Chain A
């Protein structure tokens, strides 16, 4: 158990709908990351938040958005869903951006994921 929790475990919805995935990071972790894993694309980074602020963006579609709340939990919102959005969505967390000799060695710990199926 990594200490990162994600809800729901499974989500089945229809095209065009909107869903919200939730992530609670490990106690004390300030950074939250979202990743998408589909069969044809592998694990891909979507977005990172650090202490409530967006820190980095990856291959995240405009239909997708995320936020991190004051209690540090995060939500990933997916709208106008398409069949191709069916995937596993993982959240990871890490402590504050520590440095060692000027470079960060923050380790990310992943949650169990949410399996999204769009029909």
Chain B
């Protein structure tokens, strides 16, 4: 699996957009970028994933650069409940290997 690099921590004001970067310079063509978050020892929560194109759902937007070497997760209007550790995972996408490899993630703190 390609390794990812994320800043260990970030702060964001409530109501503002939170932009979480992730570098995955060794990503290969068949690997997807997944984002999960973990709120204080709860089970990791799936947020969004993508391959090449930008993606948006009710939780967030995912922007992937054209060369696919980095991506940004955007929480458009952060709330206090978005305080969590956010994991960027580049996943080997084949039928045999389904595991998720978690790094240290980014600890996002939303401030009132």
Question: Which of A's residues lie within 8 Å of B, judged by CB?
Answer: 2, 4, 31, 33, 35, 42-45, 48, 55-56, 58, 88, 90, 92, 94, 97, 99, 103-113, 115
Contacts and interface: CB of A to CB of B under 8 A. Distances in A.
Given A33-B99, A108-B98, A113-B42, 14 more contacts: A2-B43, A43-B102, A44-B102, A45-B99, A45-B100, A55-B96, A56-B97, A90-B43, A92-B100, A103-B30, A103-B94, A105-B49, A108-B100, A110-B43
Contacts of A115: 41
A108 B104 CA distance: 19
The bracket for how many chain B residues form the interface is 20 to 34
Given A105-B49, A110-B44, A56 B102 contact: no
Contacts of B98: 31, 33, 48, 55-56, 94, 97, 104, 106, 108
Contacts of A88: 41
Contacts of A55: 96, 98
A45 B93 contact: no
**Interface of A: prevailing SS:** strand
A65 to B, nearest CB: 18
Interface string B89-111: 00001111111111110000000
